[in-house]
Amino acid sequence: MLLAPDFALRDQNNQVVRLADFRGTRAVLLVFYPFAFTGTCQSELGSVRDGSDLLADAGVQVLTISVDTVYAHKVWAEREGYGFPLLSDFWPHGAVARDYGVLNEKTGAAVRGTFLVDADGMIRFAERLGPGVGRAPGWLSTALAAA
């Protein structure tokens, strides 16, 4: 197991969210995606929104991350009813995605990456998908099984 790289990013409400703030209290599911307002990303984050009971039952906090701005995240969250943090890895551009090995340097966006970080800060589950590859059906349950 590896210790998850810590970070501090702003959410869609411009509030700073730190991974370290969850240490000792709850597991965190990190969901990296390429861009807001795209069909596959919208479907996957819809799965997170619709799976909120599953996340709550597992005691897991979800944090989604892309290189989009906080302003784009704000509009998207309001439009789609996302009640979870959408974190902006805008500047320094893609630094957190790079730390997790999911930054596509050619496009400047994250590929899809899913990481379950336990309450001790250790990565219990990691999946990195290639450019243009969507998450498989049931991906949320698969990731949460490591909680």
Q: Are 88 and 69 in contact (CB under 8 A)?
A: yes
CB of 135 within 8 A of CB of 48?
A: no
Kind of pairing, strands 86-88 and 60-66?
Answer: parallel
41 is catalytic: yes
CB 114 within 8 Å of CB 135: yes
CB 61 within 8 A of CB 23: no
Q: What's the chain's length in residues?
A: 147
Catalytic one of 41, 72, 109, 126: 41
Name the nearest CA neighbour of 108 among 95, 120, 126.
Answer: 95
CA-to-CA dists, residue 51 to 10, 43, 92, 108, 147, angstroms: 23, 12, 31, 29, 15
Catalytic positions: 41
